[in-house]
Structure 1
Amino acid sequence: MTANSLEDLFVEGLQEMYYTEQQLVDALQELEEGSTEEEIKNAFSEHREETQGHVDRLEEVFEAIGHDAEAHEDPIVDAMIHQHEEFVNGDPDEKMLERYNLMSGQKSEHYEIASYGNLIPLAQQLGHDDVADTLEETLREEQEALDEVSTLSEEFDYGDIESPQ
């Protein structure tokens, strides 16, 4: 990423978030399918639908600032997805996978919160106040999703997952 202006930095950040949200729609589908507890399954399903809304919202943001909606690959997101795939390929038991999925969900929410938190002041500085408001709405939803997955993590029933004594 090479930005020569604040506008370039903002647009490139939006492009990365557009890519991120698109990738997470698919990843959340996999997290949902990899979950056995109904409450966790439902949380991932609901957030997948919300994430699709974030994709749509970013398309509106691009239109509002006069740019084509274009995704720019984000190696951080690719690494998180790759890390999850490696874990799944290790064939963990269902309970271990369930817990790992919650950890993955928390990790991605923290990343999204940080990313939107960086984009909002750029939008404000560039005079895109309506866009900043739109991004703040998404940020609030990401924070709510983090709260939900964090609660599920805290209440997780470890059952018979072995712990070293």
Structure 2
Amino acid sequence: MDTADEKNDDFPEAGSRDVRTLRELFRLQLRTALAMEYDSLAGLAELRAAGTPHDTTDLLGHHANETREQIENLNRIFAAIGEEPLPEPSAASAGIRRQGRDLVEDCAQEMRERAVLAAALGSESYEIGCYQGLITLAEELDAGDAAELLQLNLAQEVHTGEALRRRLQVVG
């Protein structure tokens, strides 16, 4: 599922929602995280298709599998709170995906692997921040099971970010 929309004006305007409770904020952020992971999955497929060496495509493929697990964890949280797992389009994650694609397209073949790794690393940084915020909200809501699943996702993101950084150093 690809939730990224190529037009920024297709996203709901800031201030068009009336979020009044911590639970509503958590639900909105959870839906945004789901869209973020779908955007990430699509972006990883694009980056893997960029023609990079086997080690990098393997790393991106491994992360795509982890991303599917993260989507499943988010779906489990939705089920636990009695909500439909409906992605909320994310202008940020769609923009990060576009930026990564543009970066790779702008690079000569000899710079392509570095560009792919840098683009993937930028996406990981955003995802880490998203999960840190969600964990804080889950803890405030005393939603321990949700916080644990979000911690698992965060740990995977941090680990992948480090793996991408190490690979970028080796390539450089």
Q: What corresponds to 1:150 in structure 2?
A: 165
Select the structure of larger CA radius of gyration: 1
Runs of 4+ in 1 over 4 A off after TM superposition: none
Q: What corresponds to 2:27 in structure 1?
A: 11
Tell me how many residue pairs correspond in the alignment. 156
Q: Gaps (5+ residues) in structure 1?
A: 158-165
1:32-111 matches, within 5 Å, as: 32-90=48-106, 92-111=107-126
Deviations 1:22-47 (CA, angstroms, capped at 9, x unpaired):
11111111111214211111000000
Deviations 1:105-162 (CA, angstroms, capped at 9, x unpaired):
11111101100000001111112101100100110010000010000011114xxxxx
Q: Would you say the 8 A contact 1:6–1:122 is kept in 2?
A: yes
Cα-Cα RMSD: 1.3
Deviations 1:79-123 (CA, angstroms, capped at 9, x unpaired):
112223333444x32222211111111111110110000000111
- Calculate the TM-score normalised by the size of structure 2: 0.86
Q: What corresponds to 2:127 in structure 1?
A: 112
Q: Would you say the 8 A contact 1:65–1:128 is kept in 2?
A: no
Q: Would you say the 8 A contact 1:19–1:74 is kept in 2?
A: yes
Query: 2:118 is aligned with what amino acid?
Result: M
- How far off its partner does 1:5 sit? 0.7
Distance in 2 between residues matched to 1:103 and 1:43, nearest whole Å = 13
